[in-house]
Amino acid sequence: MTPNLQSLHIKQMTITLAGETLLAMHRDIAPGEVLTVMGPSGSGKSTLLAYLAGFLSPAFQAQGELYLGDKRLDTLPAERRGIGLLFQDPMLFPHLSVAGNLRFGLPHRAKNKRQQVSLALEQVGLAGFETRDPATLSGGQQARVALMRLLLSQPRAVLLDEPFSKLDTALRQEMRTLVFGQLREAGLPTLLVTHDEADANAAGGSIIALG
């Protein structure tokens, strides 16, 4: 089934903190596009991600609207927005096997779960890893499982928060190619927050500088 690809629309967004404007943005992110956001500490990168994902602290006031295609998101709670997140820590569940972690990503109604999990592992060079305990995987292998758990959850848009910063240099380039390749192939609008210019270059899209 081909998913219905849609753009993410950030419309007239202004976020204020104690009466001061912290962030303002008006931007569309097309299917398969990666928009990179860079900026110094305190410039509002985490705040932007929290606004988009739906867990902005009540300390902030947000104005504007957020849409995925023509569906309004900013009035929906986080779990109904269809936005997937990938952080610097893979955050695999330690009490579940690799397959259990991937099955967790799959929607309840998904068919052929076992097959989908095996296929996802094959796609990232981890065929046969189903029964492994995540703690026995290398950092790069854990990052691959986290990526596939995200994709299996069928997000409609993706937020990446410094996703490569914990990986060593050699692995970092490999993971950039894998992550951006998979997200582009899936046609997902993606927003990347990073301090690393090499991440931004690998993402291949526009760059917004905050602060």
- Sites of contact with ligand ATP (CB under 6 A): 17, 22, 39, 41-47, 57, 59
User: β-strand 190-193 against 83-87: which pairing, if any?
Assistant: unpaired
Nearer of residues 134 and 163 to ligand ATP, judged by Cβ: 163
Nearer of residues 15 and 29 to ligand ATP, judged by Cβ: 15
Nearer of residues 48 and 126 to ligand ATP, judged by Cβ: 48
Query: What is residue 149's three-state secondary structure?
Result: helix
Adjacency order of strands within the sheet including 190-193 = 83-87, 157-161, 190-193, 34-38, 207-209
Q: Which residue type is seen at 154?
A: Q
Residue whose token pair is 């903190």: 17
The CB-of-46 to ligand ATP minimum distance in angstroms stands at: 3
Nearer of residues 3 and 42 to ligand ATP, judged by Cβ: 42
The CB-of-48 to ligand ATP minimum distance in angstroms stands at: 7
DSSP state of 28: E
Nearer of residues 35 and 99 to ligand ATP, judged by Cβ: 35
Question: Which two three-digit tokens encode residue 44?
Answer: 């509002």
The CB-of-17 to ligand ATP minimum distance in angstroms stands at: 5
CB atoms within 10 A of CB 58: 5
Query: What is residue 146's three-state secondary structure?
Result: helix
User: β-strand 207-209 against 190-193: which pairing, if any?
Assistant: unpaired
Nearer of residues 124 and 203 to ligand ATP, judged by Cβ: 203
The CB-of-9 to ligand ATP minimum distance in angstroms stands at: 21
Question: Using CA atoms, how far apart are residues 17 and 192, in angstroms rounded to an integer?
Answer: 23
The CB-of-15 to ligand ATP minimum distance in angstroms stands at: 9
The CB-of-41 to ligand ATP minimum distance in angstroms stands at: 3
